[in-house]
Structure 1
């Protein structure tokens, strides 16, 4: 039986990807890591990861592209803000019998692949407190009004940045059937924050994978992992969650731009430049103003 870790990346997230890979390798030199290209702009990151860090590139890229296009076509090419996120669904059909999927805006603080041991009892694992926020960014209140899911089922919503499962638990037919069903009921989902895959994949797991487990529900509870939480305490270059008096398993900057001044910047910077010299300075990044900001500037005469 083979185990491995999948990531999805391109040349726009080189630094984030390096930080993630270095953190994984700091605690685990052996578990295979495979990159699924987010789009065709992946030449530089592929060269770096394969030559320096021993990362493999997903072999059947024609399948990845076909799968992504077919899934997004069900809703229409312009429906999702980031349809290429659906490329991560190739995880179900890759070479690993058991796998973790990890977003690149994460660093880990342990041999993260050991969490795959939970798959001896379950078919799907996640590890977050997304459920504490209710169904926001996943479902609309319609799923409650129409009894699409029960209250206990809705407590199993999860963040799609970190999860694990087994090859074959979801088939291509399962994916296509799920998307067709969801396309008939877009009112079930919350896309207001421009999430793309998270609502649909939550629906699929809640409907099709009954043997699922959120690792934060283990005996004694589990630590948080969101980069927007202010309670975590430094322990060298790891973090402790005082709520459960446990070290974090990983930190996820979901919805947060990773840059100097962001929460836990020193943690990310440490892993990004592990065994490298840190930059003397970081160039500032000019960002486009939002429409609201541009209108406000016009009104103020700027």
Structure 2
């Protein structure tokens, strides 16, 4: 009997990537980040979104590490930033991190540049599924998102609040257009509930994710034995041969010094790791004549 079945078609491989936003002003943070990326997750393509045009040194460093500096149209997003934050021209470019949602990727990991990687991030990919897991964050937070008025809204009252210095998602479940549409519809509510005080992208990202009712998961729910710790001041982080662990023996995937504070001061074990990556980066660039 002849086989009349049609030849099976192999589904195209998904495209994954990591996105950061940077410029020359944060080069001292960018270098240890890139060195940690090289150590742990260089198999994942890395895309650098320009914060502004101050990129002379940044472009040289990106080339040395094989990082693509992307050219993306930020016109509409910048207009939204001006509309939402008319009194803060120096900081509203922080919304340009949202251009990560326009990269030609099936899933993207976004990371602030004041972070170092401490584990293999390939384990974080391949988990996004519409209606099931749509937005992955490090852990639940309570501060720097909304003021007390958020409790007036059912879709915000019990929402999982998160730090947007790290997230994993797909443009198929959260697009930049969603941000424009939500603000067009609910800008008054956003301004009523958002926390003030030098906060820009973080309340907005939370608000849109919550308004869209995305299915949020924490890192520990997605990756076995992953820690929810990532803050540089977290107590109980211990060194191990396979990377830092929390008190429960779970792997710390990254460490974050949020807000571009002063340089780490060697006070904590995690600060020392940051400085080790910084020194390796400087030595690498020196060897390249940069």
Same fold (TM over 0.5): yes
TM superposition shift of 1:179: 2.7
TM superposition shift of 1:171: 3.4
Query: CA offsets, 1:33-52, max 9 Å, x none?
Result: 000001111121112212x1
Unpaired runs of 5+ residues, structure 2, are 1-13, 285-290
CA gap of 1:129–1:257, structure 2 versus 1, over 3 A, is farther
Aligned partner (choices 184, 195, 199) of residue 199 of structure 2: 195
Aligned partner (choices 13, 17, 20) of residue 33 of structure 2: 20
What's 1:128 paired with?
139
1:109/1:248 contact within 8 Å kept? yes
What's 2:262 paired with?
257
TM superposition shift of 1:29: 2.9
Partners of 1:181 and 1:257 in 2: CA distance: 39
What's 2:94 paired with?
85
Give TM-score scaled by structure 2 length. 0.83
Which piece of structure 1 moves more, 97-106 or 229-238?
A: 229-238
Match of 1:258, SS state, is coil
TM superposition shift of 1:181: 4.3
CA gap of 1:47–1:23, structure 2 versus 1, over 3 A, is same
1:129/1:224 contact within 8 Å kept? no
Match of 1:272, SS state, is helix
Unpaired runs of 5+ residues, structure 1, are 279-302
Q: Aligned residue pairs: how many? A: 265
Aligned partner (choices 106, 115, 120) of residue 106 of structure 1: 115
1:211 aligns with 2:218: no
Partners of 1:94 and 1:58 in 2: CA distance: 9
Partners of 1:137 and 1:114 in 2: CA distance: 28
Which piece of structure 1 moves more, 113-122 or 11-20?
A: 113-122
Partners of 1:252 and 1:100 in 2: CA distance: 15
Partners of 1:27 and 1:172 in 2: CA distance: 29
Match of 1:273, SS state, is helix
CA gap of 1:172–1:215, structure 2 versus 1, over 3 A, is closer
Query: CA offsets, 1:97-126, max 9 Å, x none?
Result: 211001111111111132012214522111
2:136/2:219 contact within 8 Å kept? yes
Counterparts in 2 of 1:61-100, with a 5 A limit?
Answer: 63-64=73-74, 66-79=75-88, 82-100=91-109
1:92/1:169 contact within 8 Å kept? no
Partners of 2:90 and 2:182 in 1: CA distance: 19
Partners of 1:181 and 1:262 in 2: CA distance: 47
CA RMSD of aligned residues (A): 2.3
Partners of 2:79 and 2:113 in 1: CA distance: 24
1:7/1:103 contact within 8 Å kept? yes
